[in-house]
Amino acid sequence: MADHPSDLTVRGVRIYRTLLDLKAQQQMAREIGTVVAQAPLFTPRTPGGRKMSVRMTSAGCCGWFSDHRGYRYIPRHPSGQDWPPIPPSVLAVWAQLTGLDRMPDCCLVNFYGGRARLGMHQDRDEADTAWPVVSVSLGDSARFRIGNTYRGGPTQSIWLESGDVAVLDDEARLIYHGIDRVKAGTSSLLNGGGRINLTLRVVY
């Protein structure tokens, strides 16, 4: 694992404040726009049938998906199209912060409108959870809640800004986390506003 000192660590989650400057954010946003044009955002449902407030798509060899059959990765977009490749700017962040030769299989693209939320959850649908998860924030600020490796208990929240990157690895790899709130209008990066979160994962 690459040794890059983070700006702060919250419950084992390493936060790199404004790792991406404005120019880098703009480049990444353009590349993600190309991904979304090829693999449009969709709204998944939980296994219980509830419609999620976050819209999503993916890039890479697989994409995260949820419906009545459960949470899982699928080889193609729900439309039947192949997932687009992970953009170079996103892979560069993974390489910089992890130092790994192994590249991620999936870049999950979550889009948050002003009312979108994401409940407390673990990222544990991957075959080997020893690999890190790298999470990039673009657009409006979001309140990121970090819990424990078990459900419940005390939590801690911080605001993530556009260009911030979080790394979940080691003891924090299976920590519960979520997004409580998005503060609309705090960034002009994305046309129409909102927030994009990119989550890089080794799946297989």
Burial category of 153 from C-beta neighbours within 10 Å (exposed 0-12, middle 13-18, buried 19 and up): exposed
Q: What are the boundaries of each domain within the chain?
A: 8-201
What is the CATH number that goes with domain 8-201? 2.60.120.590
pLDDT exceeds 60 at position 1 = no
Burial category of 61 from C-beta neighbours within 10 Å (exposed 0-12, middle 13-18, buried 19 and up): middle
Which sign, positive or negative, has the C-alpha torsion 145, 185, 111, 126? negative
Which tens digit of pLDDT belongs to each residue from 137-176?
999 999 999 999 999 999 999 999 999 999 999 999 999 9
Q: pTM for the complete prediction?
A: 0.95
Percent helix, strand and coil across the chain, each to the nearest 5: 15, 35, 50
Task: Quote the distance between the C-alpha of residue 105 and its chain's center.
Answer: 13
Give the residue among 28, 32, 35 at the shortest CA–CA distance from 84: 35
- Identify the residue whose tokens are 């989550």: 199
The neighbouring-strand residues paired with 31 are none
Which tens digit of pLDDT belongs to each residue from 78-133?
999 999 999 999 999 999 999 999 999 999 999 999 789 999 999 999 999 999 99
